[in-house]
Amino acid sequence: MRFTRKLVTAVSAALAICVTCDAQAQNATKKRPQTVNAPGPADSARRQQINEWTIGLAGGLLEGAPIRLATEMSRVVNDGFNLHVLPIVTRGPTENVNDLLYLKGVDMAIIASDSLEEYKSQVPDIQNRISYILNLFPSELHVFVRPEIKSLQDLVGKKVNFNTQGTAAAYTGPLVFSRLQLNVNKTFIPHPVAMEQMKKPDSDMAAVVFITSKPIDPFLKGRWDPGFKFLPVPYDRRFADYYLPATIESTDYPSLLAAGERIDTISAPTILVSYNWDPKSDRYRRVARFVDSLFNRKSQLHAAGFDAKWKDVNLAASIPGLTRFRAAQEWLDTSAPKLGMRP
């Protein structure tokens, strides 16, 4: 018994010594200054070299066309340390305006022309803060209706679907209908669901509204009974600030339009824009180099593997309500006449 008591005392003393030593070791570690290797001249030079010609381009949602076009532009213009474009996945063309105005590292963005409307109240001079580089592609307005609907006025009070929130249709569609003074029962469900509802004989879903580049698969490949049709939306002064005139033609949807038939509508240009950088700034210098490289290499975007939309892009096309980026205008003034480019 006495031996056991001595053994316990000895073990306790040993443990106390270990705990004390461990605490002292931890305190010594805390007091010992941590050594961090400062970047040397070579690291600093490399960091400066990488960042000097790097440009941030806000594209859009991962599944959308804008981010694909942003990636393809970067593939064509990227040139080692001489130019490096970083396509950025974002929450969409409307949000891209916010990123361009306020987010660090964003020099350019792909936006829908009418997304500027949302910022007019908080940024009254927004059209002076942003300049356009390129009109990428039009997104045509498609107002597709049931057989009993004969005109836009027939839609008043009826159920019209504008696709899910966050899509171009959900933003531009209600804006256009407001300008047309059409008070409809707006719904925001997936278009495939709404279109299936439209096909039912007793359906109260009168129309679906698309804002996207034609042709659209549900109208090109879908089966529709006689009477389903597109309604015309004539272009007039109500749309002169952001939109352009457009048509939907029989070649776009041969099963829905008679040969040679054309439906007037409007389109919302999807555009590449830059912040209106001071021409003396480094940010302007970077974007100007990007513009020169992209415009000189545009023909490379017509090759197989790139989006077919590039073949329709006109470098000289203008955008309502915005001024062209200075370097882009200078390139056109110098090169367009030589190339016989149309305005």
Q: Give the per-residue pLDDT at 339.
A: 59
pLDDT at position 18 = 46
Q: What is the mean predicted confidence (pLDDT) over 31-56?
A: 68
pLDDT recorded at residue 16: 46
* Orientation angle between helical segments 282-296 and 326-339, nearest 10 degrees: 20
**How does residue 333 score in pLDDT terms, banded at 50, 70 and 90?**
very high
- Residue 251, pLDDT above cutoff 70: yes
**How far apart, in Å, do the first and last CA atoms of the chain sit?**
107
Domains 47-136+271-339 and 138-269 share a fold: yes
Instruction: pLDDT band for 340, please (50, 70, 90 cuts).
Output: low
**Which residues have CB under 8 Å from 78's CB, separation 6+?**
84, 85
Rounded Cα gap, residues 75 and 77, in angstroms: 6
Q: Does position 5 have pLDDT exceeding 60, yes or no?
A: no
Torsion, CA 268, CA 273, CA 277, CA 283, rounded to 10: 170
200 versus 10: the higher-pLDDT residue is 200
Q: How confident is the model at residue 272 (pLDDT cuts 50, 70, 90)?
A: very high
The architecture that CATH gives domain 138-269 is 3-Layer(aba) Sandwich (3.40)
Identity (one letter) of the amino acid at 64? Answer: G
Label residue 206 by pLDDT band (50, 70, 90).
Answer: very high
In this predicted structure, what is the pLDDT of residue 49? 67
How large is the average pLDDT for residues 243-268?
95
The second-level CATH assignment, the architecture, of 47-136+271-339 is 3-Layer(aba) Sandwich (3.40)
The Cα 220–Cα 216 span in angstroms is 6
pLDDT at 334 over 60: yes
| The pLDDT of residue 102 | 92
Average pLDDT over residues 54-73: 89
In this prediction the pTM is 0.76
Classify each residue of 99-119 as buried b or exposed e, where b means 16 or more C-beta atoms within 10 Å of its C-beta: bbbeeeebbbbbbbbbbbbbb
Sorting pLDDT into bands at 50, 70 and 90, what band is 320?
Answer: confident
Residue (of 301, 342, 282, 236) closest to 55 by Cα position: 282
CA–CA dist 11, 77 (Å, integer): 73
How far is residue 67's CA from residue 56's CA, in Å, rounded to a whole number?
12
215 preceded by a cis bond (ω within 30 of 0):
yes
Check residues 29 and 172 and name the one with the higher pLDDT. 172
pLDDT digits (tens, 9 = 90+) for 83-125: 999 999 988 777 899 999 999 999 999 998 888 888 887 888 8
Determine the average pLDDT of the residues in 126-148. 94
Look at residue 38 in the predicted model and tell me its pLDDT. 61
User: What span, in angstroms and rounded, lies between the C-alpha atoms of 238 and 270?
Assistant: 19
Interval 191-198 mean pLDDT:
95
Question: Rounded to an integer, what distance in angstroms lies between the CA atom of residue 177 and that of residue 205?
Answer: 16
With 80 as the cut, is the pLDDT of residue 258 above it?
Answer: yes
Structural domain spans, the chain: 47-136+271-339, 138-269
pLDDT of 25 > 60? The answer is: no
> What span, in angstroms and rounded, lies between the C-alpha atoms of 101 and 108?
10
